[in-house]
Amino acid sequence: MVIMRASFLRTALLWSLLEILAAWQVRTADGPILLTWLRAVIHPVVATADRVGDLTVDVGLGIHDLQRVITDNRRLRLQLEEIRARELLLDEDLQALREASRLAGPTSEFEPGARVARCAFRDLSAGTMEVRTESRVVIPRDAAVMTKGGLIGRVVRSEGRRHWLQMLTHVTAAVAVRTTDGSLNGLALGTGTEALTVAYVPRQGHLARGVVLVTSGGDGIFPPGIPAVEVIRVRETEDPFLEVRAVPTVNLKTVRVVLILPDWSPENSGKEQ
């Protein structure tokens, strides 16, 4: 077996040498055919290496492009989400603006100086809200702020486009209210929670749960006739007044657009009337 293998190897070696010797003697237009053989041997290796290099570059570019596509896709998805959210907000804003317009329209005294503002921040537990107007305006302190659902509160600070409100749930807020027919009056006091206390409602008054109380204008801050609170509980106590609990007619959690009434004052109202 070993002898056969040695003989085979010797034969192969000798024949290869003879073939190379013959190839060395043959000339072609490109030179010795041996060089052509070498080129034929090397070319596939070089071509393969070249292709592998190209493939590597292509794969690298592909990966890079894929990463970019993924990033773009993520960014576009975020943008789409943002646009959808903005669309929803705009839709709500538009709806709120229409409502505010409908609300302000019939009330001639609101219209001239009424400003539409957008809620930028609110802290329900603190009873404060920050709203922003489209342009810089000076809103006088204590200007009433409302929306379609009713009263929200009053302006406590104004600075350029930013205006801070004290909502009627604020612990120090107080709004003079009455029933729509004017038979009962009271004072809605903020408690720092969602519910308000309506004080000074006489015991003999007929007040039931679900009744909406509107502003009476008696406090000199809020124009009369704006829905303010809805009664949720009425209790009789030993005091001469009913213990009334109420919640704002406006859902303060979802308010986005508000109407500021800076020009109303009891004096102006009186003159117009």
Partner 1 sequence: MKSVALALLALFAQRLLGLPGLPSWSSEILLPMALIVALSLKRHERRWPYEALLLGLGWDAVLEPVVGPGGIAWSAAALCLSAASRLVADRSPKAWLGFGAVGTVVVLVVQWLALLPLGLGTSWNPPSMLRTVLFTALWCGAVGTISRLDLPTHWRAYRARKLR
Q: Give contact residues for partner 1 (rule: CB under 8 A).
A: 7, 10-11, 14-15, 18-23, 25-26, 28, 33, 37
Minimum CB distance to partner 1, residue 3 (Å) = 9
Instruction: Collect all residues with Cβ–Cβ distance below 8 Å to 11 and sequence separation of at least 6.
Output: none
Query: In this complex, which beta carbon is closest to partner 1, that of residue 36 or of residue 101?
Result: 36
Query: In this complex, which beta carbon is closest to partner 1, that of residue 37 or of residue 121?
Result: 37
- Which residues share a beta bridge with 166? 128, 154
CA nearest 93: which of 229, 205, 254? 254
Minimum CB distance to partner 1, residue 51 (Å) = 25
Minimum CB distance to partner 1, residue 69 (Å) = 50
Minimum CB distance to partner 1, residue 48 (Å) = 21
d(CA 75, CA 82): 10
Tokens 């303060």 belong to 252
CA nearest 169: which of 144, 184, 183, 151? 151
Query: In this complex, which beta carbon is closest to partner 1, that of residue 3 or of residue 45?
Result: 3
Given a contact cutoff of 8 angstroms between Cβ atoms, the answer to whether 143 and 154 are in contact is yes
Q: Which amino acid is at 29?
A: A
d(CA 117, CA 93): 10
Query: In this complex, which beta carbon is closest to partner 1, that of residue 6 or of residue 88?
Result: 6
Minimum CB distance to partner 1, residue 22 (Å) = 3
Kindly give the residue spans of alpha helices, DSSP state H, lying in 145-255. none
Query: In this complex, which beta carbon is closest to partner 1, that of residue 28 or of residue 71?
Result: 28
Query: In this complex, which beta carbon is closest to partner 1, that of residue 15 or of residue 121?
Result: 15
Q: Which amino acid is at 71?
A: T
Minimum CB distance to partner 1, residue 50 (Å) = 25
